[in-house]
Every structure is written in structure tokens, then in C-alpha cells.
Structure 1
Amino acid sequence: MNNTDQPSQRPLRIGILHYSCPPVVGGVEEILSQHATILHRLGQHISVLVGMGEVFTESFPVRIEPVLGSQNKSITKAHERSNSGDYKPLKRLTNRIYDILTDWAQNLDVVLAHNVLHMPFNLPFTLALRRLTALSGGPVIVSWAHDSPYFEPAPPEYLKEHPWNVLHRTHPAIHYVTISESRKHRFQELYADVLWKVIPNGIDPAGFFYLDEKSRRLAEELDLFGRDLVVVQPSRITPRKNLELSIHIIRG
């Protein structure tokens, strides 16, 4: 991050990381898409980097690097070799991914990494991202944690051993976020040495309800998205529609 160009003076440059993006189907993939779209609409500069999927928008950069995927053959082979005591492929891929990350993140202020630092789907990706925290002038790293293999009653034994146990360690330079109070409680049991913040998964209501531009403007003028309850009665205002009964029920 360029210290002469403070984020308070301009839009934030936000990078978002995951193993995949739409049209790959998944909960985190949908959240990634929603986060990127909404932050872009709010005027921030967004860049997405994933291993699988497609360029799902022309509004901001979406970069696909297959080696970041959870099903990349070179990654799965490196995992197998490391479990046999051969760490050379793991180190080689970690260096390769680190080069990709440093190239992508050189002008970013913050990186939101969905699950990469907690799930065992691409260990070189995890290791390279942790290394990125040492980059001088680099972005702030936020680990956006949805899940953990250590939540299982009996996690696989290999996850307790080197190098996989890095998934069970926090990093002092990384900020940790999870999606609910219940998840926060579980993550704090695993990682008690950091402060966990809760930011619930959100949706883009305008997109979710397929609102056209006129409806979107009306919703913003009435602050509908900021209200606890919105009741819609699609009818004309005439005596026979008995709107009074609807109002009476809502007040009750």
C-alpha cells in the first residue's frame, strides 16, 4: 500500500480470495460474488482472485489462476507427497502461488480471504498467503472464516502434524472474522489467542428480489433495506381492499 496515498482520501482497493467463484456452485462462492458486487456498488475498487470459475462480471477484475483451486492436480499430488515426507513439491507450489499473490496484491489496501487460511483444500495457497503478511507495504490480510476441519468430532490425524497443523495456528498480523456468534464461539475454542469479529453473511437485496431501477430507487428513498420488517400488499388503495385490517394486524 502506498503510504502517500491514504485510503481515507480515496476508495479502498479491496482484493477478495477464494478457491473458486461463480458459476461454481457453493455458499462461499455466492457470498464472494455478493461481497464483491455490493462493495463495488458502494464505490470501492474490487479485484477478485480465484482458482476455478469464470469472469462473472465486467464491472471489476476477476482473475482465474488454476493453481489456486481446491481440485488442482498439482496441488493434490503435492499434498500426497508431503504426507509421505517429501515437501519439495509443496515448497515449489507455495513459491509459485506467492509470486501470483504478490503480483496481484501489490496495489491493494486489504485482502479478504474466504476460508483459505482455515481449510485443508490447498495448503500451498494457505502458506503463501501467510507469507504475504511479511510483504513490506503490503495489504492488510483479513481471514474470513466460514468453517474448519477441526470442528469435526474426530478430525483426520494428519491435520495435527506438520505441515498441516499451520491450519490450527493464528498469525499475529492477520485479522480474523467469522460469520455468526455461534461460529465465533467455536473458532475461539480453537484459536483463543486472537480477537474474533462477527460480520454476518449478507445478500444484495436488490438483486435477490430482482428489483428494476425504479423499484431500487424507491427502496432507497424509503430506506426499505434498513428496516426490520417490510410488508408488501400488492393492491390498489380502495375501501374494498380493507387496508385498515392489514395495518391493524401489523400494529398488533
Structure 2
Amino acid sequence: MNIAILHYSVPPIVGGVESVVAHHAYLMSAGGHSVRLIAARGKALSEDIPLVVIPLADSRHARVTEVKDQLDRGEVTADFETLRDELGEQLQSALIGVDVLIVHNICSLNKNLALNCRASSIAYCGQTSAFDPLASRSGMDNAALSKGIARRLSLELAKNRMA
């Protein structure tokens, strides 16, 4: 299965979510899945886990902070719409060939509302880290959820090999 993981940043940027992203990526890659990361900052985890860099996904990008200032003043301008649409095009390009998108915090941490809007229109975004509506409602903690996702993806891969 081709899996993409989306977050604002990935390792070597230090953070709790960045650590979870790395664990998810390694676990799923070890399970035989093709995994790619999508973020504004960070590096590929390995040759097998590449990074697609989308600079506009960074909450600190000058254009993003300018739009945030406008939104904070209650102004939804053409700048927002342009940024949202550019992010949409970049995300669509990064997601070519992807079967499953896992979205980490983009939809629950409003650091980049243009990205939030685009990610929300592409994927189900729950408060958990998974693009899996059934798992996200299960009440599992992130460690159990990660193992559950990997198990489900591995079972799906096994079924596909047998078909």
C-alpha cells in the first residue's frame, strides 16, 4: 500500500508529533508499505521513506504569517484564497499514487488555516493522527492506534498479495 504522512515538520525537527510521525513511518515501512512524508521542514528518514517538501505548509512561512495576520483582523482576502489553492495543487501533486493519507495535527492545530482548509477537503481529519474514521472513533491511544493501523494495513497488503 502507498501511504503518505502529512505534518508541518518531520525529524530531525524535534517534537512529540515528529517522533510519532517517524515511528508510524518506520513501522509501516517495515510492514512492507511504501511510505512518504509530506512536510514543510525536515529530512527523509531513509532512502525508503522520502520527504516531499512543501514550503508553504510551514506555519512560519512569510506568506502564511501574512495571511494569518489578515485573518486575525477578520479579513479573508484573495491572499488566503491564493495560498489555499497553491497548497491544494502542491498537496494533490504530492499525493499522486497514494492509497492512504495520515494527517497529523493539521486539522486540529490551526497554525496554517490555508493548509487546514486544503487538508480537510482532501482527507478525513479527526483529532487522532489517523486517516481512518473507524479507528479514530475507537478511543485507542496513539500507540495502540499506530499498531492497529499498521496491523490493518498489513492485513490489507496480505489480502492484495493473495488476490
Contact residue 19 and residue 50 of structure 1 kept, 8 A: yes
Q: CA deviation digits over 1:14-43, x for unaligned, max 9? A: 110000001111000000000001100000
CA–CA distance in 2 between the matches of 1:102 and 1:83?
A: 28
Higher Rg of the two aligned structures:
1
Contact residue 51 and residue 65 of structure 1 kept, 8 A: yes
CA–CA distance in 2 between the matches of 1:142 and 1:121?
A: 15
CA–CA distance in 1 between the matches of 2:41 and 2:134?
A: 24
1:200 equivalent to 2:158? Answer: no
CA–CA distance in 2 between the matches of 1:106 and 1:60?
A: 16
Q: Unpaired segments of 5 or more residues in structure 1? A: 1-11, 134-140, 147-172, 179-195, 205-252
CA–CA distance in 1 between the matches of 2:125 and 2:120?
A: 11
State which drifts further: 56-65 or 45-54: 56-65
Q: Unpaired segments of 5 or more residues in structure 2? A: 147-163
Aligned to 1:97: 87
1:106 equivalent to 2:96? Answer: yes
CA–CA distance in 1 between the matches of 2:44 and 2:2?
A: 19
Secondary structure of the equivalent of 2:142? coil
Q: Could you tell me which amino acid in structure 2 is paired with residue 53 of structure 1?
A: G
1:38 equivalent to 2:48? Answer: no
1:145 equivalent to 2:128? Answer: yes
CA–CA distance in 1 between the matches of 2:35 and 2:13?
A: 20
Aligned to 1:125: 115
Compare the two structures and name the one with the higher helix fraction. 2
TM-score when normalising by structure 2: 0.77
Q: Could you tell me which amino acid in structure 2 is paired with residue 119 of structure 1?
A: L
Note the C-alpha offset of 1:197. Answer: 2.6
Contact residue 108 and residue 127 of structure 2 kept, 8 A: no
Q: 4+ residue stretches of structure 1 with deviation over 6 A?
A: none
CA–CA distance in 2 between the matches of 1:105 and 1:97?
A: 12
CA–CA distance in 2 between the matches of 1:177 and 1:121?
A: 25
CA–CA distance in 1 between the matches of 2:3 and 2:26?
A: 12
Matched residue count: 143
Contact residue 98 and residue 131 of structure 1 kept, 8 A: no
Aligned to 1:70: 59
Secondary structure of the equivalent of 1:48? strand
Q: Could you tell me which amino acid in structure 2 is paired with residue 197 of structure 1?
A: S
Note the C-alpha offset of 1:174. Answer: 7.5
Note the C-alpha offset of 1:81. Answer: 1.2
Secondary structure of the equivalent of 2:143? coil
Aligned to 1:175: 133
Aligned to 1:23: 12
Q: Which has the higher contact order (CA 8 A, sep 6+)?
A: 2
Secondary structure of the equivalent of 1:63? strand
Contact residue 107 and residue 125 of structure 2 kept, 8 A: no
TM-score when normalising by structure 1: 0.52
Q: Could you tell me which amino acid in structure 2 is paired with residue 102 of structure 1?
A: Q
